Amino acid sequence: MADALPKTPMLDELEKGGWPSFVTEIKLAAEKNPMGKDLLGLLERSYKEKIGHWKHGGIVGVMGYGGGVIGRYNDLPEEYPNISHFHTMRINQPAGWFYTSEALRGICDIWEKRGSGLTNMHGSTGDIILLGTSTDQLEPTFQDLAKIDFDIGGSGSDVRTPSCCCGMARCEWACYDTMAACYDFTMTYQDELHRPAFPYKFKFKFSGCPNDCVASIARSDMSIIGTWRDEIQIDKDAVKEYADSGMDIDSDVVGNCPGKCMAWDGKELKINDKFCVHCMHCINAMPKALRPGKDRGATILIGSKAPIVEGALLSSVLIPFIKMEPPYQEIKDLVDKMWDLWCEEGKNRERIGEFIQRIGLGNFLDEIEVDPIPEMVAHPRENPYVFYEDYYEDEDEDDEEGDDE
Amino acid sequence: MADALPKTPMLDELEKGGWPSFVTEIKLAAEKNPMGKDLLGLLERSYKEKIGHWKHGGIVGVMGYGGGVIGRYNDLPEEYPNISHFHTMRINQPAGWFYTSEALRGICDIWEKRGSGLTNMHGSTGDIILLGTSTDQLEPTFQDLAKIDFDIGGSGSDVRTPSCCCGMARCEWACYDTMAACYDFTMTYQDELHRPAFPYKFKFKFSGCPNDCVASIARSDMSIIGTWRDEIQIDKDAVKEYADSGMDIDSDVVGNCPGKCMAWDGKELKINDKFCVHCMHCINAMPKALRPGKDRGATILIGSKAPIVEGALLSSVLIPFIKMEPPYQEIKDLVDKMWDLWCEEGKNRERIGEFIQRIGLGNFLDEIEVDPIPEMVAHPRENPYVFYEDYYEDEDEDDEEGDDE
Amino acid sequence: MADERRTDYGPPHYEKFLPPIIKENYGKWKYHELLKPGVMVHVSESGAKLFTVRAGSPRLMSVDKIRMYADLADKYCGGYLRFTSRHNVEFLLTEQSNIDPLIDDLKKIGHPVGGIANSISAIVHTQGWIHCHSAATDASGVVKAVMDDLYEYFTETKLPGKLRIALACCLNMCGAVHCSDIAILGIHRRPPKVDHENLYKMCEIPNVSASCPTAAIRPATVDGKASVEVDEDRCMFCANCFTVCPAMPLADPLNDGVSIWVGGKVSNARHEPMFSKLAIPFLPNNPPRWPEVTSAIRKLVELWASNARKYERMGEWIERIGWPKFFQMSGIEFQKEHIDDFKHAGLTFKRSTHLTF
Amino acid sequence: MADERRTDYGPPHYEKFLPPIIKENYGKWKYHELLKPGVMVHVSESGAKLFTVRAGSPRLMSVDKIRMYADLADKYCGGYLRFTSRHNVEFLLTEQSNIDPLIDDLKKIGHPVGGIANSISAIVHTQGWIHCHSAATDASGVVKAVMDDLYEYFTETKLPGKLRIALACCLNMCGAVHCSDIAILGIHRRPPKVDHENLYKMCEIPNVSASCPTAAIRPATVDGKASVEVDEDRCMFCANCFTVCPAMPLADPLNDGVSIWVGGKVSNARHEPMFSKLAIPFLPNNPPRWPEVTSAIRKLVELWASNARKYERMGEWIERIGWPKFFQMSGIEFQKEHIDDFKHAGLTFKRSTHLTF
Ligand code: SRM
Ligand code: SRM
Ligand code: SRM
Ligand code: SRM
Ligand code: SF4
Ligand code: SF4
Ligand code: SF4
Ligand code: SF4
Ligand code: SF4
Ligand code: SF4
Ligand code: SF4
Ligand code: SF4
């Protein structure tokens, strides 16, 4: 324990400056744990050589779970033996990332004992990342965590740990209860989360309004984004206050409205809600005066992902508006149908967004029995290459056309 | 000649109504020419049967020319013998489609004698279409036309008949002399126009300003569209007149400016020309008050086409601004380079727009020795799949990188 | 030289055909004004005035009709006239007093005056059953029926902006169909019926297979003859195979018809040029007057005319209100066919929550 | 039950971790206000007030640091705290008077307060050389260097709008790199060096060939061993082959580095979500402080900050002025690399004459 820390002149540079230093954090851990010491040494070496020293992970994990652990081995185990294994455990965070000091201390105590004492609070998907331990400590760590009710998150071709914005807990704009939904979905899909059986990963993210504070439209296979479908609530007096306090409502609010559906005559703010695209801008700009309508729910979108392989995707609209009421059965039924289809027809390492593009959105909708609606597209097709599905046979003049026409 | 016209009850319906009737035209021709008579009969039959009766054309033409005639045969030659051959001749129109009555009568006399007496004034590409004659009349028609100085236009895999808007002849917005340029290019490329030797067709269209009255951005492999690069000329008094006469300058003009670079305070119209995108809208709306700047030229764009096979394309920017001065050598040099490359590397039936997409715009530019500039793209790439061209070798620490970096 | 065969002399030089007023004021026009529907004046920096009278034309014209035009040009404007890029005829006058008599004479020979400014101009169109082997519908007939119906919008200027209609009789799209406010497109809906008897004589099999964008065509031996077979599920009726091989006909009276497309534009005014988008996947061929087509188009025109803001082209209007509203207001049913499934399909999906309810 | 192994019990229910004020006002918040950088108040319909103090975090944290946070939460807000979606720490206070003492204590342990409203928040980032085998650059080190440099923009709210930076250490893009105002992306620039000795032992050759989006990989026998060969001209360094096969490493000290991307966004506010676009194709890895990267980013931030209108995110600003102006103003040289040449490349060409000069 009391071994001197390795010399890390390059890393030491990164203890300078205003922003909190991860090097300082590793040093804090290294004081108690030789893993941290070796990590410092290895990282300093990477800095010098400008190359990483980690190898592809093997399959490691805890009993009965197929995911949640990222196996990692370094390629210089003789020199850095304490991190020759250095596996990461992904622990499912509580919805909205709320904690008590007690809960955090519980995690800290376990990880100080069983692992490197280093974490990410949190990973990009949302998990608590317990950064680095050896293979033999995986199961005991899990057992210890179970005692304080923390379970493992996703990795591999499974449901990944869902995440959500703080929603109704701390935000006035939440159009549905994101934390309740996130928790509910997480619990419903425990099996799919822990036992990879899909063609590839599948992520859920829940945002309470179109500001999308968990980036769900960019980073989840299913994005559930709150919205409303009645009129924006206007507090006229508060509008006046903003105007009086010098806000340029015309250029700041009206001029930025993508629906081009607002008018301000210097006295009254009018919104033609029929053309409002629910972008949130006016509400963001005047939080005291404007609020989302009262008939609230969510838009369900599908398919976003990072670029590998077919190029990055944003999610696209599947259901323009749905009421978000437990047990969210309609959505879950849809999820089941989509998974069945994707598991059946999807290629290995093909995310659902890529799958839909490959088979065609129209065919996908046919299979999951959802009617096509114009809300699903930015615009109808521009090319004339239409697969008309039925034609009249001349031998037999019966109407062969289906009900589509 | 005096044979009765065939019974055409369906076509007769199309002699009713306010718009001038093509049926009446065919009947006019049919009175003098049996081809017209048979055409009426065949067309009436198509109307009844809801199907065309023309077959793929064979290769027919005039001596020494590889294009300009569309061969056509009907599939019921016994019943409609006068149009068993019914080839169309494409005749190169004068630039801007200006005529004297004398010139028109010259064409009419020849076509009455040698063909069906039916025409299209004009075809979509711009030619005078002489609609229907027999194989033996092709060469004599050409000889007759030569006497009145009309030459044949393009068809097949060649330069197609260039066309242009009336430009400086009748329009106050022409930023260069479209008719002069169209005539000049037509004369320069007579050989390429008459002797198909390309992978596919190649069209030039010349519009005097971004209103693009010959649809060049949508329908030509090379689109030459007039523009200016200095300030829009403003006549303040005329602006005032528009305002006084009740024009809502704010919503009609300023509000529609895509550059968002106009301001109107009720008295003065200001344009921040740095951000003007040269769309023409404000000038169109206030022709007496605003005019394009004085430093005029054209934008050269490349590659538009109809959908077959890879999907329709609009032309894309190759040269944002070039002065349009005879002999337009810089443009022609570029054309030569592009054709050389496309003829060498293009696939059969691959338009140049498709070709560029296949080999990549960057590679295309390399080959024709044009530097890439941001004006050529709507935006830089979004995917990270960059073909970095040079890398450092570790064996040999010399800088292997090219001048691109 | 007289005995040498003359070739490659090109079209006559346009200057021969320009009236004196144009030669004198070439490049010196200052502004123009609409005087009344179909009539405009261009005023030169010199003060000279050129009056243009634009008359609608069927484009398919007999030489006799052209001679009538020539006569009118002689009578009213020194024999000078021109055609437009949309195939209308323009008489170029210097005497304002000649305008009305010319219009009267044009009416007598059945040619309406109009098409300038906020109106519907002539329909850019193609050959159809008059001359093309590829047509899935007629061209001139549909155009005549539609223009009869929209006549008032040609002769008056009561629209929010310009409206450009085009027709193409097959997917080759000769004309401006892919970028028109409203486009009428002839379509096949039945895969090619392969003429196995003759294919090997007429076509090169590798070319035929290669021509298909969806790889629906495979070489096959049928009744002992080299031929091809078509995987019908993969065929989207583009007729590219037929273009390269006559033994692959798609035309079929029961299944051919037209589709309607909306919202394209060419000009750079305000919005960048746009492609037309599918509005109505199929309407039957119903000669001679295609009533389903004319009524569908009238509805579209009127919907746009009564809802668009000044200057707003069809596509700009729809973009502002959104496609869902367009389908709702037009009563057109949104179907699977509307969803793109070609190469760049994914880019047409709605990838935001910008929705109206 | 005690002896049965417990699995699939899921995360703890969030309600256990909510402070009483949140439980009482759950779903009843009415509005919020920024009190000062990093501090906001949410006011409930009931009148209750919740004060949030947001502190910047390195994300990579030792358990000791987490305990310090826990101590501060105990001291100032009943033990309640949360983390944000960008990995900052938020203390949830009911006593306004506790705000300043908390901020002081945070400063003492080296954590700045800020990141709310018109500021730069923490950089969403990834593992880098700390833990991932795939990294082309480090994550935490670059982030630390950049945030040190941009410190004032975290602690103050002097920007036109929000600015979101993200970093991913390879093209897998764990994180929000593809939709960030500014993105830092680790890149390889050298094709995989195939380990022919071991490939056949470690990887399935058909999978390896199939993994390549550009079909650059072909099966081949090298020194008598089954292996693959890479057509280097077709390789664009995506490392997808390496993901499926460890014998295809791309990492290379001389050629790895970062590229800078701009103009993406996620929110639907005003403009629809957008992808980030390539700004700077290559900057070298220059540990420990990546000076080329920090200075490039500062320039971009300042260019945007001094030119954008209020609320205008980076991408909205660039869209308004146009990319040519962006390149001109930023002094970044436009190169071949900027031109898309992947599947939908043609759709990124400029297909209008809407140009500025
Ligand atoms: C830990 C984490 C980065 C972080 O530091 O936060 C991470 C780390 C890895 N990601 Fe990721 N991804 C992480 C969030 C993401 C995200 C962001 C998100 O979920 O919001 C994305 C982009 C969104 C998406 O899903 O597309 C992401 C897209 C990828 C991809 C590309 C997937 C694709 O379809 O394009 C890969 C490659 C793969 O799956 O083969 C990938 C693969 C990996 C692997 C497993 C590398 C590999 O090929 O084996 C990394 C393990 C690193 C390590 O050694 O620990 N990771 N990965 C994030 C998970 C933490 C957590 O559970 O909370
Ligand atoms: C006559 C004309 C239509 C008309 O009635 O106006 C026409 C008629 C034909 N076009 Fe066209 N095209 C005509 C203008 C166009 C245009 C419009 C233009 O030039 O502005 C286009 C769209 C723009 C473009 O070039 O892409 C056009 C795109 C096509 C195509 C699709 C080419 C493509 O790359 O997608 C074909 C198919 C082909 O070339 O195999 C085609 C093929 C044909 C053929 C030759 C049919 C064939 O496959 O053999 C037609 C002969 C009809 C006939 O029997 O006379 N035609 N064609 C136009 C030529 C008249 C003239 O010379 O003035
Ligand atoms: C005569 C003609 C050019 C020629 O050389 O033949 C012409 C002539 C004029 N155009 Fe055009 N345009 C002509 C075809 C076009 C086309 C091409 C087409 O329709 O296929 C376009 C692009 C259409 C499109 O965007 O789809 C076109 C887009 C415009 C515009 C932009 C309108 C817009 O708001 O998008 C203007 C400006 C305006 O009208 O204010 C314009 C304006 C004009 C002006 C006012 C120019 C001038 O000052 O003389 C001319 C009379 C206007 C009118 O017809 O209302 N011209 N104009 C063409 C007449 C065709 C016809 O018979 O109707
Ligand atoms: C705490 C957090 C949610 C959470 O559950 O963790 C959150 C909280 C709030 N967001 Fe957010 N946003 C949070 C991540 C995001 C993200 C996701 C991200 O950055 O990865 C986005 C999308 C970013 C993007 O578009 O790229 C996001 C886009 C917004 C917007 C839209 C801003 C815009 O103009 O585009 C608003 C509205 C505003 O700021 O006026 C907003 C507004 C808010 C408000 C004002 C909502 C409220 O009334 O409470 C909260 C404080 C604002 C602030 O930080 O300035 N929040 N917000 C996240 C804080 C992250 C951080 O530590 O900085
Ligand atoms: S997504 Fe909407 S509801 Fe959720 S925290 Fe952000 S602003 Fe609030
Ligand atoms: S939410 Fe957006 S679209 Fe709707 S009125 Fe407000 S600014 Fe306009
Ligand atoms: S393109 Fe421009 S210059 Fe040519 S006629 Fe049209 S408006 Fe005039
Ligand atoms: S030409 Fe177009 S972009 Fe330029 S100022 Fe006029 S309206 Fe604006
Ligand atoms: S659109 Fe098709 S059918 Fe009509 S003329 Fe052109 S090629 Fe022939
Ligand atoms: S019509 Fe088109 S899609 Fe159908 S078989 Fe022929 S080429 Fe293929
Ligand atoms: S971005 Fe790449 S290198 Fe970084 S953590 Fe993700 S997979 Fe690993
Ligand atoms: S890095 Fe990508 S492009 Fe290069 S060989 Fe590997 S898979 Fe193919």
Angstrom distances, CA of residue D256 to CA of B39, C169, D32: 71, 55, 45
Nearest C-alpha in C relative to D347: C344
Q: Does A382 touch chain C (CB under 8 A)?
A: yes
Interface predicted TM-score of the whole assembly (ipTM), two decimals: 0.96
**Above 90 in pLDDT, residue A58?**
no
CA distance A178 to A164: 6
- Mean pLDDT score of chain B: 95
Residue with tokens 């070496």: A45
Stretch A379-383: mean pLDDT: 98
Phi, psi of A136, deg, nearest 5: -70, -15
CA distance A14 to A11: 5
Note the pLDDT of residue C5: 84
Residue of A264, A304, A385, A397 to mutate when probing chain B, most B C-beta within 10 A? A385
Note the pLDDT of residue B2: 46
DSSP string, B103-155: HHHHHHHHHHHHS-SEEEE--TTSPEEEEEE-HHHHHHHHHHHHHTT--B---
Q: Please name which of B41, B153, B134, B125 lies closest in space to residue B86, comparing C-alpha atoms.
A: B134
CB count in 10 Å sphere of residue C161: 23
- Mean pLDDT score of chain D: 96
Q: How far is the CA of B122 from the centre of ligand 9 (A)?
A: 15
User: Considering only CB atoms, which chain C residues are within 8 Å of B117?
Assistant: 62-64
pLDDT tens, C33-56?
Answer: 999 999 999 999 999 999 999 999
Residues with a CB atom less than 6 Å from ligand 12: D 191-192, 211-212, 214, 216-217, 230, 235-241, 250
The amino acid sitting at A107 is: I
Q: Minimum-distance ligand to the CA of B209?
A: 7
Shortest Cα–Cα distance, D25 to chain A (Å):
8
**Above 50 in pLDDT, residue C21?**
yes
Residue of C238, C309, C333, C341 to mutate when probing chain A, most A C-beta within 10 A? C341
Q: Quick one: pLDDT band at residue A403, thresholds 50, 70, 90?
A: very low
Q: How far is the CA of A135 from the centre of ligand 1 (A)?
A: 21
> What token pair was written down for C347?
């880019």
**In testing the pocket of ligand 8, which one of B232, B239, B262 has its CB within 8 Å of the most ligand atoms?**
B262
CB D248 within 8 A of CB C327: no
**Above 60 in pLDDT, residue A404?**
no
Q: Please name which of A178, A212, A190, A194 lies closest in space to residue A97, comparing C-alpha atoms.
A: A178
User: Considering only CB atoms, which chain D residues are within 8 Å of C347?
Assistant: 344, 347
Q: Does B394 touch chain C (CB under 8 A)?
A: no
Note the pLDDT of residue A3: 65
Q: Quick one: pLDDT band at residue B3, thresholds 50, 70, 90?
A: low
pLDDT tens, D261-283?
Answer: 999 999 999 999 999 999 999 99
Q: Quick one: pLDDT band at residue D171, thresholds 50, 70, 90?
A: very high
Note the pLDDT of residue D3: 56
pLDDT tens, B59-110?
Answer: 899 999 999 999 999 999 999 999 999 999 999 999 999 999 999 999 999 9
CA distance A272 to A76: 65
DSSP string, C31-59: EEEEEETTEEEEEETTS-EEEEEEE---S
pLDDT tens, D109-130?
Answer: 999 999 999 999 999 999 999 9
Start-to-end CA distance of chain D, whole Å, equals 76
Give me the residues paired with residue C220 across strands.
C227
**Above 90 in pLDDT, residue C222?**
yes
**Using alpha carbons only, what angle is made at residue C11 by residues C7 and C17, rounded to the nearest 5 degrees?**
145
Segment holding C262, helix H or strand E: strand C257-262
Listed in sequence order, the DSSP H helices in chain D are: 20-25, 63-77, 99-108, 140-155, 196-202, 205-211, 240-244, 291-307, 314-321, 323-330
CB D180 within 8 A of CB D264: yes
pLDDT tens, C136-161?
Answer: 999 999 999 999 999 999 999 999 99
> What token pair was written down for A300?
């369900």
Interface of B with C in 6-35 (CB under 8 A): 10-11, 13-14, 16-26, 28-29
Residue with tokens 């081949």: D220
- Judged by CB atoms closer than 8 Å, whether chains meet at C63 and B86 is answered as no
pTM: 0.96
Q: Does A395 touch chain C (CB under 8 A)?
A: no
User: Considering only CB atoms, which chain B residues are within 8 Å of C111?
Assistant: 20
Lowest mean pLDDT, pick from A333-337, B32-36, B386-390: B386-390
**Above 80 in pLDDT, residue B352?**
yes
Phi, psi of D271, deg, nearest 5: -85, 145
Note the pLDDT of residue B1: 43
Q: For a pLDDT cut of 70, what percent of chain B falls above it?
A: 96
Stretch A279-307: mean pLDDT: 98
Which letter does DSSP use for residue A31 in this model? T
pLDDT tens, D23-74?
Answer: 999 999 999 999 999 999 999 999 999 999 999 999 999 999 999 999 999 9
Q: For a pLDDT cut of 70, what percent of chain C falls above it?
A: 99
**Above 60 in pLDDT, residue A399?**
no
Segment holding A331, helix H or strand E: helix A329-345
Q: Does ligand 1 have an atom closer than 6 angstroms to the CB of A163?
A: no
Q: Minimum-distance ligand to the CA of A96?
A: 4
Q: For a pLDDT cut of 90, what percent of chain A falls above it?
A: 93
Stretch D305-327: mean pLDDT: 97
Angstrom distances, CA of residue A88 to CA of B271, D124, D286: 59, 19, 27
Task: Tell me which residue has its CA closest to atom 6 in ligand 10.
Answer: C241
Within a 13 Å sphere around the CA of B70, how many CA atoms are in the beta-carbon half?
22
**Above 70 in pLDDT, residue A398?**
no
Q: How far is the CA of C354 from the centre of ligand 6 (A)?
A: 9
Q: Quick one: pLDDT band at residue A402, thresholds 50, 70, 90?
A: very low
Stretch C78-88: mean pLDDT: 98
The overall longest dimension of chain C from CA atoms, in Å, is 79
Stretch C250-255: mean pLDDT: 96
**Relative to the CA of C132, which ligand 9 atom is closest?**
8
Q: How far is the CA of A210 from the centre of ligand 12 (A)?
A: 37
Q: Quick one: pLDDT band at residue B309, thresholds 50, 70, 90?
A: confident
CB B278 within 8 A of CB D355: yes
The amino acid sitting at B72 is: R
Residue of C134, C336, C342 to mutate when probing chain A, most A C-beta within 10 A? C336
Q: How far is the CA of D174 from the centre of ligand 1 (A)?
A: 4
Note the pLDDT of residue A390: 83
Q: How far is the CA of B271 from the centre of ligand 8 (A)?
A: 8
